[in-house]
Amino acid sequence: MIIDRLYQSVKEKGPVCVGLDTAVEYVPGEFLKKYNSLEDGIVNFNKRIIDATIENAACFKVQIAYYEALGLLGLRAYKRTLEYIKENKAISIADIKRGDIAKTAQMYAKAHFEGDFESDFITLSPYMGMDSVEPYLEYVDKKEKGVFLLLRTSNEGAKDIQYITTKSDRKVYNVVGEKIQNIGEKYLGNCQYSSIGAVVGCTHGEEAEKIRTDLNKTFFLIPGYGAQGGGAKDVAAYMNKGNGGVVNSSRGILLAYKKKENGQKDFDRWAGEETLNMRKALEEACKNI
């Protein structure tokens, strides 16, 4: 199961997930000028970030929106970035947040688990119902693929719907969490966790221990660290003593160079340093839980 690989990767390299949300304006102008095309500039920026962080990164999350926004050249850069992650024997999470009727979901599963855009994990929204998740499960079962389902997101607006109290006096996210845990139990590897994970933002602290305990077979993808205000202490409660999830930082790592004088020249060095510091902070905070 792919989750065994991710679990092992966290054990060896710590829980940082490097987010490749590569907006064109994040790539230093002098670096971009060296390439004949924007596509090559973006891909080579990503390669430098991957090379500089891989030692301390459990996995890489590629946010498709930044690539789609550039049209075909962006999608080629997206494909080449996923290929480079694979060539380096690292684990990819494609942040695509799909959610649709089962027939359409079959096509999304084919698009992102096979062919040009193949990745190890993808993100999905289960808020259309569990039948919308079903088509992906064959890949989890037979093809070494995994999914992370949105549970409680990091944005403020998560409260608009995910926090609504249901008739059973539980929040919507508690009900969704139970469903994620239940399908996950059917696909447990040799590992403590299933390859059906959940996305839990670290910017909300309510019921953190309860969520971790209720979803004890569910590995978490935790966004919200750094640029959105989350810190190591906010993450620790979700981490199950350090190996219960991966913690994403995108802008915090990609733009670390902006905090340094003339940092754009060695943008990859500062991304590497930020990743290492984040790893150390997370490992320290998890010790104290």
Ligand X SMILES: O=c1ccn([C@@H]2O[C@H](COP(=O)(O)O)[C@@H](O)[C@H]2O)c(=O)[nH]1
Between 140 and 247, whose beta carbon lies closer to ligand X? 247
Could you give phi then psi for residue 241, rounded to 5 degrees?
60, 35
DSSP-assigned letters across all residues of 91-159: -EEEEEEE---HHHHHHHHHHHHSGGG--SEEEE--TT-GGGTHHHHHHHHHSS-EEEEEEE-SSTTHH
Between 1 and 220, whose beta carbon lies closer to ligand X? 220
Options 97, 159, 233, 280, the catalytic residue:
97
**Residue number closest to ligand X, CB atom:** 153
Q: Give strand pairing partners of 279.
A: none
- 3-class secondary structure, 5: helix
Between 227 and 289, whose beta carbon lies closer to ligand X? 227
Torsion angle, CA of 134/189/141/149, rounded to 10 degrees?
Answer: 30
As measured in angstroms, the least distance from the Cβ of 224 to ligand X is 6
125 contact partners, CB below 8 Å, separation of at least 6: 97, 98, 99, 149, 150
As measured in angstroms, the least distance from the Cβ of 229 to ligand X is 9
Residue 97: active-site member: yes
Residues in the site for ligand X, rule: CB under 6 A? Answer: 19, 21, 63, 95, 153-154, 199, 201, 223-224, 226-228, 248-252
Tokens of 85: 């992650």
Q: Which helix (H) or strand (E) holds 273?
A: helix 267-287
As measured in angstroms, the least distance from the Cβ of 37 to ligand X is 24
As measured in angstroms, the least distance from the Cβ of 288 to ligand X is 23
3-class DSSP string for 164-203: CECCCCCEHHHHHHHHHHHHHHCCECCCCCEEEEEEECCC
As measured in angstroms, the least distance from the Cβ of 142 to ligand X is 27
Give the active site residues.
Answer: 97
